[in-house]
Copies of this chain bind each other. A is one copy, B any other.
């Protein structure tokens, strides 16, 4: 990249930031129904523009195949009429959610008469950096708007045209509702210097960055970010079969957790089996093998079925995002907890047990964002949690954890009222 380009990108990103900040001031005062109207109008526009979006996506897919993107990445990139209908449905679902802005989170009066309210307010400007999933354009834009935030979206180059086509529908929606187009901006360049600018130079304009992508993006964000980040790291989700597990529930959940979709961050990547539950564990392992899953096991798991292959040490703590699962025997719930503490990514873990004490211990001693009992890790999803949509699953501990919906994209203020009250 030569100096001229760098200056251009720099100037471009500064202008985008200033525009977003100005839009955020207007959005903070825009009534809930105006923001919701923009979303339903955007859903209508997306349906009207469906052919254009699919054509743009076909071009992205062709380039992706030519560049040799993996099948998993191509699947993330692909839009179909059904997937597009899902994107429009998400826009409407977010529009119908209760509006978070202005919600009174707490309200109390002090002995001196001061009334103190904690009230939800927009964060301001949210930057979203994503890679191959074009639907993030709509989901992230919609959630920011619902939260009263301006959004700066940076799509991965492989999804660039698809994102542009979806963004056009969002702009239609904003215009229809009388909101500024700068409320949801898509960075209009594939130049990766734009990511650097968002992470480091735009601290005055961006209040928080939400990165959605693979290890290289995450590593870059961790190294460069001067702006607060809602970390979205790996989803190394564990399922643990306890000695007190129910057979039918367990077999159903293990199979679903691994196979429903293998490319999502809530897919199970490691099966832990209580040494006192190896018989049930073997049934679950055979279910996985029969479904075509490659099981990489330790000695105890290899003894269950000749199709199990030997796990390498780094198969534990690995996010396969594929039809592969690591598996091993552990010494009861404490063994499972120890393994997850060492190899987990604080995303989602599920215990299969009918024993309340074991479940309570699993819940108390692990600090993952989502802990489950007798449920599939594939439920780690904002829509499934009832949030309408999500930008992703935050694995950090501050502000946002688990599914990031509109409420997680707000902050709060204290509003304090007195009657000439002074402090002694």
Contacts and interface: CB of A to CB of B under 8 A. Distances in A.
Contacts of A249: 419-420
A219 interface: no
A88 interface: no
Contacts of A415: 363, 371-373
B110 A414 contact: no
A397 interface: yes
Interface string A84-126: 0000000000000000000000001010001010000101100
A15 interface: no
A155 interface: no
Nearest to A110: B386
Q: How many copies does the complex hold?
A: 2
Nearest to A257: B422
Interface residues of A, number: 63
A67 interface: no
Given A398-B228, A399-B398, A420 B370 contact: no
Interface stretch (A71-79, A173-181, A377-385): A377-385
A116 B423 CA distance: 42
A119 to B, nearest CB: 8
Interface string A359-397: 100011101111111111011000011100000000011
Contacts of A422: 252-253, 255-257, 260, 375-376, 378
A420 B252 contact: yes
Nearest to A256: B422
B384 A423 contact: yes
Given A123-B397, A414-B369, A423 B110 contact: no
Contacts of A260: 422-423
Contacts of A402: 413-414
A333 to B, nearest CB: 14
A350 to B, nearest CB: 8
A227 to B, nearest CB: 10
Interface in A398-424: 398-399, 401-402, 411-423
A403 to B, nearest CB: 8
A162 interface: no
A384 B423 CA distance: 9
A314 interface: no
Given A253-B422, A398-B398, 12 more contacts: A114-B379, A208-B397, A228-B228, A249-B419, A256-B423, A260-B422, A359-B417, A371-B413, A372-B418, A373-B417, A373-B418, A401-B412
24 contacts: A110-B384, A110-B386, A124-B397, A207-B397, A208-B397, A228-B396, A249-B419, A252-B420, A252-B422, A253-B421, A255-B422, A363-B413, A367-B413, A371-B414, A372-B415, A372-B418, A375-B416, A375-B420, A375-B422, A376-B418, A376-B422, A378-B423, A379-B423, A398-B411
